[in-house]
Structures are given as C-alpha cells and as structure tokens.
Amino acid sequence: MLDNLALGFATATTVSNLLYCFLGTFLGTFIGVLPGLGPLAAVAMLLPVSFYLPPETALVMLAGVYYGAEYGGSIASILLNIPGTPSSSITCLDGYPMAREGRAGVALLVTALASFFGGVFGILVIAALAPLLADFALLLEPADYFAVMLLGLVAASVVSSSGTLRGVMMVTLGVLLGTIGVDVNSGATRFTGGVQDLRDGINLVVVAMGLFGVSEAMFSARGASASYAMEKVSWQRFLPMRGEWLRCLGPALRGSLIGSFFGTLPGTGQTVASSIGYAVEKRVSPNRANFGKGAIEGVVVPESANNAAAQTAFIPTLTLGIPGSTTMALMIGALMIHGVTPGPRLISDHPALFWGLIVSFLFGNLFLLVLNIPLIGIWVRLLRIPHYFLYPTIVVLISIGVYSLDHSLFDVWTMLGFGLLGYVLRLYRYEPAPLLIGFILGPMMEEYLRRAMLLSRGDPMIFLQRPGSAVMIAISVLLLVLTALPGLKRLVKSIG
C-alpha cells in the first residue's frame, strides 16, 4: 500500500494537478452555495474544460468540483435554511436553528471541520480497503438493500421531534409522494392525475427547496425585520463551547463510518448516508432532545457522513464501473472520454490515475478547509441583509435554479406548492424532515423490494433467509416495539 500511496503522491503533487485541484474545489464550493445548483450541475458545467487536460488532471479537477459543491451546499443550508444540494438538506435541521441563535459561525466552522474529518476518513478507507470493499458491495443483494432502507425509514419515524405518530405520518406521506410518476416495471402511471409533467415523478431538489427554502421565506414574511446575525463577528464567536468539542467526536466518527459504508453501495450515495446518519445519531445521542433545535451533533453527523460518502462513492465508480449517482455517471463519462474504462482492472492498468486521484482528495479537502474557514465571517455577514431584501431575492434565485433543472415552469410551481405545504406543516408542528427522508428512501426501497421478490420468485422469506437483511429487519421491529411500549403500558393502566 505504501508504494501505491507514494505513486499517488508523486502524481497528485505535480504543479498542474495541485492547481486544478484548487480550482476545482473553489469553483465547486462557489456553485454549491447557489441554491438549486449542485454537484451534478457543477460537474456538467466544467466537464468540457476537462477535455483538454491529461486524464489524471481532468479527474482531479472534476473530483474537486464534486466534493467542493457538496461542501458549498451546506453553507446555504445553515445560513438560510435552503439546501444547496439534496444531501445538505439534512444539515438544515440543526444548522439553521444554530444560525437563528446567533451561532452561524460555530455551525460553519464545525461543518468545515466535520467535512474534513469525514473526507479524510473516507480517503483512509479507500486507501486501505478499496479492493475489499468493492468485493463486499458485490456480495450484497437487493434484499439487504431493502432492509437497510427500511431501517432508515423506521429510525426517521421513531426519532421525529414532533412525535412518533406524526413522524410515521410524515414518512408515509414522503414515500407516497415518491411513488408519483411512471412505474418503471409496468409502465403504468401512478398518482399523476393525468398531468403529463408528473410522468417522470417529482424532482428531489423541487421538494427540498419548497419544503425548506420557500416555507422559510413565508415564515420570514411574518417578521420581516427580524435579523439572526451576530452583533459582532469575531473569531471567538466562531468557536464551539468547551464541552461541545468532545460532543462532536463520537458523531463525527459515527457519521464517517456510516458515510463510508453507504458511499460504497451503488445507488445510495451522500443523501442516503446523511439521512441515515442523522436518524441513527438522533437515536443514540444523549443530547437527542435538542435535535432539530440547534444540536451541534445534528450538524456534525450529516456533514461527516456526506463527505465520507462523497469520497468512497468513487470505489464502485472506479473499480466496478457502477455509478452510485448521476454525478458519478458523469465521472465515468469523463474517464471514457479519455480512453480509460472503469472496472476491476482500472487499479492495475492505471495505478497512477487511481492512486493519484485518491491522494488528491486529501489535498482537495485541505484546500476546502483553508478556503472556507477564513470566509466564515463573510458568509455570516449575509445574515445582516434585511430579510425583506434577502428572502425575495433567494426565492427568485432558487426558482431560477429549479427552472434550470429541466427548463420547466411546472417544477417552479410545484416547488412553490411544496413551500406552502411546508409552511402549513410547520404551523401545525409536523416536522418536514421525515417527509423528505421518506421521499428519498421510499422509491429506492420499492425498487429493491421488487428486485428481491423477482429473484426469489415471489417468496417473501428471502428477507429472513439472508442474515444481513434478517438482522436489519429485526432491529427495525425492535425499534418500533420499544417506541410503542410506553404508550401500550399507559393504555393498559387506563383500562385497568
């Protein structure tokens, strides 16, 4: 492994590779901050630039754009409750309440450090276990994926701060919304009401922007003169309190582990990693009561999971040729444009490219840290802009971002509709986060359920015959029983 890392360092530390790595992280962060745009748009915009570069340099730059955009998405999530990327929507849940308490600088600093920690953890996982993890990912079958997704949904329901029953209702609503569109197996349309624009379903960005961004703008209209900015921006105000440093270590480690695991699974990616990481942390954290109200752990977990998954997502992409996301599919396209075929032989046929790219992740994460910590003061000053100027501008920007997805006005109206829904849900104390998690995990769970049933020829026992899926289902049932137990006891007492 040391020889491979030495080769990687020799490739990554050339002047041109370092320069393009820096350029990629800078441009990626900038694009990621803009609401509605994300890593897919950022990589797509800069892909033509890579045509004129050597393969190693092209991949290093595009990878920098990718994880730079993932980091940039969290800045708008914390400051404005508007997720810059789908995976950073989970960061809204506690990052924005921290900003409202005047702790935006702390949230941004913790985000930068957690992202760096998760990124470095993911790099170490790739360096040590890339071939093994690629083989392990191949061993998992649809029944295992289904069971993992089910556990994520159950965890999101039972830890909802608005109550388990409301959490289940929100998750169910999210799953139902995720079924809208054409069924890829039968070709039948579901719940479209005859609207042609719904045949492809509802875009995740549309839902996330509406539920969090537009609904926040509506709430701000009730108190337009309010300002959440700190009176004085100083470095002391950016630092977490003494006890909080220790509280961040466990969540950062758990988030990195979860992110590294889900990053290696084709078809899951950062959004699933940050969703499940948040749900698990909310269950195990001693500070769980403060989740959703500005808990620092609620920022650390999704950011470390998100960035760890962003790094390990390259394992199935490079070693199996299976993209874990649309952005990774673009990466495969970039590789093939340069005459490199991803797959099991990539590491042996192109060791300089593979290990150079892995080592460049380390420099890219360092660049992110160096770039963004000095900029925290500038980002925080955004909050000083009066809300009656800021939020209308943001609504226009996210409308442009949503329109740019498919050049569809229908998407913009749908986003505004979800904004109204998010506003009503918040008025009646229904947490929108479980809805979003259900919307993300529901369609994937349905897909893996069908695959598993096809493979077992319709025998549902497949979910209990495989050890991995059986354990996950058992944990899900146990969580539900433990959560329902106090209510059942109260019911029995009242009857007795």
Tell me: the pLDDT tens digits for 438-491? Answer: 887 788 788 889 989 988 888 889 889 888 889 888 988 887 887 777 777 777
For 121-146, what is the mean pLDDT? Answer: 76
Most confident of 66-80, 272-286, 445-459: 445-459
Q: Is the pLDDT at 356 greater than 80, yes or no?
A: yes
Q: Specify which residues 190 forms β-bridges with.
A: 181
Q: Quick one: pLDDT band at residue 210, thresholds 50, 70, 90? A: confident
Q: Is the pLDDT at 309 greater than 90, yes or no?
A: no
Q: Which residues of 53-86 are buried (b: 16+ CB within 10 A; e: fewer)?
A: bebbbbbbbbbbbbbbbbbbbbbbbbbbbbbbbb
Q: In terms of pLDDT, which residue wins out, 48 or 196?
A: 196
For 282-296, what is the mean pLDDT? Answer: 80
User: Do residues 32 and 71 lie in contact, with contact meaning Cβ atoms separated by under 8 Å?
Assistant: yes
- Residue 411 CA to residue 403 CA, distance in Å, equals 7
Q: Is the pLDDT at 297 greater than 90, yes or no?
A: no
For 360-379, what is the mean pLDDT? Answer: 79
For the chain, which residues make up each domain, given as ranges?
1-493
- Residue 453 CA to residue 441 CA, distance in Å, equals 18
In sequence order, what are the residues at sequence separation of 6 or more whose Cβ sits closer than 8 angstroms to the Cβ of residue 218?
A: 419, 420, 423
For 23-49, what is the mean pLDDT? Answer: 74
Residue 244 has what pLDDT?
78
Would you tell me how many other CB atoms lie within 10 Å of the CB of residue 18? 17
Q: In terms of pLDDT, which residue wins out, 428 or 495?
A: 428
Beta strand extents in 218-363 (DSSP E only) = none
For 279-298, what is the mean pLDDT? Answer: 80
Q: Take residue 112 and report the two structure tokens written for it.
A: 């930068």
Q: Is the pLDDT at 231 greater than 50, yes or no?
A: no
Helix, strand, or coil here: 36?
Answer: coil
Residue 279 has what pLDDT?
80
Angle at which helices 55-80 and 89-100 cross, to 10°: 40
Residue 417 has what pLDDT?
93
Phi, psi of 268 (to 5 degrees): -105, -80
Q: Take residue 2 and report the two structure tokens written for it.
A: 């040391």
Q: Which residues of 300-329 are buried (b: 16+ CB within 10 A; e: fewer)?
A: bbbbbbbbbbbbbbbbbbbbbbbbbbebbe
Residue 489 has what pLDDT?
74
Closest CA to 175 of 447, 364, 373: 447
Phi, psi of 137 (to 5 degrees): -60, -30
Q: Is the pLDDT at 341 greater than 50, yes or no?
A: yes
Q: In terms of pLDDT, which residue wins out, 297 or 156?
A: 297
pLDDT in tens, 387-403: 677 778 778 877 887 78
In sequence order, what are the residues at sequence separation of 6 or more whose Cβ sits closer than 8 angstroms to the Cβ of residue 32?
A: 38, 39, 42, 68, 69, 70, 71, 72, 73, 75, 84, 85
User: Do residues 311 and 361 lie in contact, with contact meaning Cβ atoms separated by under 8 Å?
Assistant: yes
User: Do residues 75 and 371 lie in contact, with contact meaning Cβ atoms separated by under 8 Å?
Assistant: no
Residue 319 has what pLDDT?
72
Proportion of the chain above pLDDT 90, given as a percent: 3
Q: Do you know the residue count of the chain?
A: 496
Residue 6 has what pLDDT?
84
Residue 135 has what pLDDT?
67
Q: Quick one: pLDDT band at residue 282, thresholds 50, 70, 90? A: confident
- Residue 387 CA to residue 224 CA, distance in Å, equals 5
Residue 420 has what pLDDT?
92
